[in-house]
Each structure stands twice: as C-alpha cells, then as structure tokens.
C-alpha cells in the first residue's frame, strides 16, 4: 500500500518533481529535477519513466536467479536503471540547448519478496519508520554533507546554510552515474517515506516519527506537505509513503499512480 502527494510549494511557479507509485511492481520513486522549469521537469519525469521501464524489463528474469544471487542481481538492475536514465537525460541535454544543465535526483524503493532495495542519487531522501522510530536510510550526495562528514562544518551549521542546493551527484550530469543501492529486510508493519528536499529541509527524522504516530500513513504525505508549506514552502514538495502489510483497503491505497506525463519541453521543438 502506498500514498503519494506533491505540491509546487509557496515560492516556485512550476513543479519540477516527479514520482511513481506502482504497488503491483513494487516500485516507488521520487525525482527532484533541476535545470529550470522545462529542463528540471523533463529530467525528473524522464528519469522516472526510464527506471520504471528498466525494472519492468528485468523483473521476469529475477525469478530465474538463484536466491543467493538475487540481491546482487537486483542491485545491478537498479544501477543499470539509474545509468540508463542518466544517459538519456545527458544525451537530450547535449542536443537541445534549451535543456542544457538539466538533471535530477533519484530516490526509490523496490520491494521484491521480503527484501527492499533503496536506490539513491542526490539529496532526496528515504526514511524507514519501524517500531515507532524513524531513521534516514540514504546519505545526501551534497556539498554540505561532505563538509559535515569531513568535520569542517557541524550539522547545525549545515542546516542553516544557504548552500543546500549544491549536490555532488545527479542523474543526467554525466552519461553514467553510480547510485547507492541499499538492500534491507522488510518486515510487516514497516513504512517508508520517500521525499524531495522540499520536505526534508523542513522536517527531520525525529519529527517524521512523531507525525507517523499521530496520523494514518495514508494521510502522512499530505500532512507533511502542509507542514512544509506552513514553514516556508520554498521548493517543490513531494512525498510517497509505503506501508508493508497484508491488508488491503481500496479506499485508501493507490495501487498505481504517476504524475501525468506532460510535454515539458519548451515550444518550438
């Protein structure tokens, strides 16, 4: 079961985020585009589309892989998906001057059997809600995070910095990208929250845990979006909540949803 929500925020005029929820496939994605309205929106949607296509293309073969090799096979499939998306975006940016500089983050969850696989490039984030607590699964590929890890800046200083937008790895900057792929065991009752930095810039893991305890998971993305907007909403905001469960409630779950594929290229193509 999964529930998405997205919002343009209070400052931007266009939403350059894209997302995908496909519970039948077990694939959930959030992508935060960059490069201006046309480029950013196009890059994020193209990334989501390509990753979806690659996973669909490869999923049948996974059943023929020996269980002891399946984790490696899925990690390779997701890495190939990210690089195929990066190549497509990079090629289009190179051939159309209106799209120069476009790229996108990618944070996704692929669930296969009792295992989950987080694929990650950039500074969108994935969180795991388990047992009343919340922890961040991904590590930001950002200049600020590198400064914190090197001991040159405290987390508090990074949180107040105006340089949050500088990322050190993205889908589309080069034809090939090396994503982080994190395998983990998924337990019944686990919930995941995928989000763009328009949300995580305003709400941290500890507060996500509190919000999740106080609201239905189905309402969590909307509640988080409203809170981020209340606190400033200076960027596009996207969140996808995913719950691992046996129960089904068609009134609440969204079995398959994606942001509509729009022509985000500027006119004159």
Which of 95-104, 121-130, 157-166 reaches the highest mean pLDDT?
Answer: 121-130
The reported pLDDT for the residue numbered 255 is 43
Structure tokens at 67: 């269980």
pLDDT digits (tens, 9 = 90+) for 79-94: 999 999 999 999 999 9
Q: Which domains does the chain show, CATH number per domain?
A: 2-258 (3.60.40.10)
Residues in the chain: 269
Using DSSP's 3-state secondary structure scheme, residue 6 falls into strand
- 220-230 vs 205-214: helix axis angle to the nearest 10? 130
75, pLDDT greater than 60 = yes
pLDDT digits (tens, 9 = 90+) for 1-36: 999 999 999 999 999 999 999 999 999 999 999 987
CA distance 152 to 208: 28
The residue among 209, 195, 267, 184 whose CA lies nearest residue 237 is: 195
186 CB burial (10 A radius; 0-12, 13-18, 19+): buried
Distance of CA 120 to the CA centre of its chain: 7
**pTM metric for this prediction:** 0.89
Lowest mean pLDDT of 61-70, 106-115, 219-228, 238-247, name the range: 238-247
The residue among 30, 77, 48 whose CA lies nearest residue 181 is: 77
Helix (H) or strand (E) holding 80: helix 67-95
């Amino acid at each position: 079961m999964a529930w998405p929500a997205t919002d343009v925020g209070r400052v931007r005029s266009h939403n350059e985020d894209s997302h995908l929820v496909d519970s039948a496939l077990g694939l959930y994605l959030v992508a935060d585009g960059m490069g201006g309205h046309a480029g950013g929106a196009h890059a994020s949607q193209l990334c989501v589309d390509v990753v979806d296509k690659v996973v669909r293309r490869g999923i049948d073969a996974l059943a023929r892989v020996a269980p002891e090799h399946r984790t490696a096979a899925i990690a390779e499939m997701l890495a190939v998906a990210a690089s195929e998306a990066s190549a497509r975006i990079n090629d289009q940016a190179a051939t159309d001057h209106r799209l120069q500089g476009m790229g996108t983050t990618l944070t996704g969850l692929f669930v296969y059997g009792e295992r989950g696989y987080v694929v990650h490039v950039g500074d969108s984030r994935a969180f795991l809600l388990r047992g009343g607590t919340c922890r961040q699964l991904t590590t930001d590929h950002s200049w600020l995070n590198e400064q914190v890890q090197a001991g040159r800046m405290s987390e508090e200083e990074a949180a107040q910095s105006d340089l949050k937008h500088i990322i050190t790895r993205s889908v589309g900057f080069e034809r090939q990208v090396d994503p982080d792929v994190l395998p983990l065991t998924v337990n019944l009752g686990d919930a995941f929250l995928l989000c763009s930095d328009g949300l995580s810039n305003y709400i941290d893991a500890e507060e996500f845990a509190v919000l999740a305890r106080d609201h239905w998971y189905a309402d969590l993305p909307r509640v988080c979006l409203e809170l981020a907007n209340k606190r400033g909403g200076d960027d596009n905001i996207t969140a996808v909540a995913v719950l691992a469960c046996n129960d089904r409630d068609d009134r609440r779950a969204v079995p398959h949803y994606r942001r509509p594929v729009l022509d985000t290229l500027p006119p004159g193509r």
